[in-house]
């Protein structure tokens, strides 16, 4: 229980400037949007062919996709913590 309190106080004491919040939300929402777009292309391929085979040979594109996934996970955690501790 004390760990939850320490996380709560640490997160609550974190004050982010308005410009940084806009940047975080911009990157987070664009990451989520790109994830939805990629999932729609995968599901379209599955519906048309019955399967999906994705092989990426370009290292920069693969690293970009991994980076977008990391941003989306971090943004989701940020929003989840913000909502959890806002109600307490």
Predicted pLDDT of residue 78: 85
| Phi-psi sector, 55: left (phi>0), alpha (psi -120 to 50), beta | beta
Beta strands in 1-88 (DSSP E): none
27-53: per-residue pLDDT in tens? 888 888 888 888 888 888 888 988 888
If one counts every other C-beta atom within 10 angstroms of the C-beta of residue 72, the result is 20
> Which tokens belong to 7?
């996380």
Residue 17 φ then ψ, to 5°: -65, 160
- Say what the pLDDT of residue 4 is: 55
- pTM confidence score: 0.58
Q: Check: CB of residue 54 under 8 Å from CB of residue 42.
A: yes
């Amino acid at each position: 229980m004390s760990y939850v309190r320490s996380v709560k106080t640490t997160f609550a004491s974190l004050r982010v400037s308005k410009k940084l919040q806009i940047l975080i939300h911009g990157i987070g929402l664009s990451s989520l949007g790109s994830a939805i777009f990629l999932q729609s292309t995968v599901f379209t391929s599955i519906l048309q062919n019955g399967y999906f085979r994705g092989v990426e040979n370009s290292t920069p594109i693969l690293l970009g996709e991994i980076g977008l996934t990391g941003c989306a996970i971090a943004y989701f955690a940020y929003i989840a913590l913000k909502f959890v501790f806002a109600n307490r």
